Amino acid sequence: MEPRPVRIGLRIFSLGVMAFLYIPLAVIVMASFNASRIPTWPIKDYTLHWWSLAMHDQHARTALENSFKVGLAATAVALVLGSAAAFALSRFRFFGKNSLSLLLVLPIALPGIVTGLSLLSAIEYLSLTPSLVTVAIGHSTFCIVVVFNNAVARLRRSSSSFEEASMDLGADGWQTFRFITLPNLATALVAGGLLAFALSFDEIVVTNFTAGAQQTLPLWIYNQFRLPNTAQEVNAVAVFVIALTAVPVYLAQRLMRESGGIGGRG
């Protein structure tokens, strides 16, 4: 047990760090209601004008739809491939296993600009047209890691003796998978899928290189930042996005609680 002054000191320091994490988020939420045309602080007048403007912006809505399409496609690919990789790495021993797990983390360990430029070079080399499909393919590579991390954490904690018992009792491989393995893994997969979606929904560094003429919501927001007098409307969209990603992350966290937290992007 730490001495009392140390504990109090740690508590105050932790409180300070948490404040550092949340004050900027509070600032942006408040700024989205700022009635002034120029971003100012403190905020003198509040309005819902920016919110209604954002709600009726056709470009923003198309971008939002695109983000949903890409997110769903990338999540679907990531769920299948990520869980397959998790099974292979946690239930089997084979040559090159460690290099493979390193390979799976690589899309996240390398800087985003390298991943983005690599994908663009490949697109140019194959003379493909950048589109939502290329964006979704790019997103899948790092969404796989998120699903993989969540699934592997669950598989490591759950022993394979239940599966053996099921087989001993006469179930075949499919029945064992359907009634034992899948229910045990289900919440981890849902959590991984939610996080993968949130990651794709927010991605810009790689998307910027692979999207071509298409716009996803982050790209729309980024372009808006460069135009004059649009900041307030963007703030409103921003708060909407924060709320939208907060829901899946909160749900994922609840689902994974019993297995001791979720493996984030790494």
Which residues inside 159-178 make contact with another protein, applying CB under 8 A?
A: 167, 172-174
Q: Which conformational region is residue 229 in: left (phi greater than 0), alpha (psi within -120 to 50 degrees), or beta?
A: left
The residue from 76, 222, 230, 259 that contacts another protein (CB under 8 A) is 222
The nearest distance, CB 52 to another protein, in angstroms, is 20
Provide Rg for the chain, Cα atoms. Answer: 22
Q: How many helices (H) and strands (E) does the chain have?
A: 12, 0
Footprint of another protein on 110-149 (CB under 8 A): 110-115, 117-122, 124-125, 137, 140-141, 144, 148
Indicate the length of the chain as a whole number: 266
74 close to 139: Cβ distance less than 8 angstroms: yes
The residue from 61, 62, 133, 202 that contacts another protein (CB under 8 A) is 202
The nearest distance, CB 11 to another protein, in angstroms, is 6
Residue (of 87, 108, 69) closest to 163 by Cα position: 87
Binding-site residue total for another protein (CB under 8 A)?
A: 93
Pick 48 or 264: Cβ nearer another protein: 264
Footprint of another protein on 4-63 (CB under 8 A): 6-7, 10-11, 13-14, 17-18, 20-25, 27-28, 31, 39-42
Pick 62 or 118: Cβ nearer another protein: 118
Residue with tokens 């990789």: 85
Binding pattern for the stretch 225-254 against another protein, x by CB under 8 A and - elsewhere: x-----x--x---xx-xx--xx--xx--x-
Cis upstream peptide for 42 (omega within 30°): yes
Buried b (16+ CB within 10 A) or exposed e, 53-62: ebeebeebee
Beta bridge partners of 46: 34
* Rounded distance between C-alpha atoms, residue 249 and residue 27, angstroms: 21
The nearest distance, CB 88 to another protein, in angstroms, is 4
The nearest distance, CB 69 to another protein, in angstroms, is 18
* Rounded distance between C-alpha atoms, residue 255 and residue 201, angstroms: 20
The nearest distance, CB 236 to another protein, in angstroms, is 11
Footprint of another protein on 82-101 (CB under 8 A): 82, 84-85, 87-88, 92, 94, 100
The residue from 74, 189, 221, 236 that contacts another protein (CB under 8 A) is 221
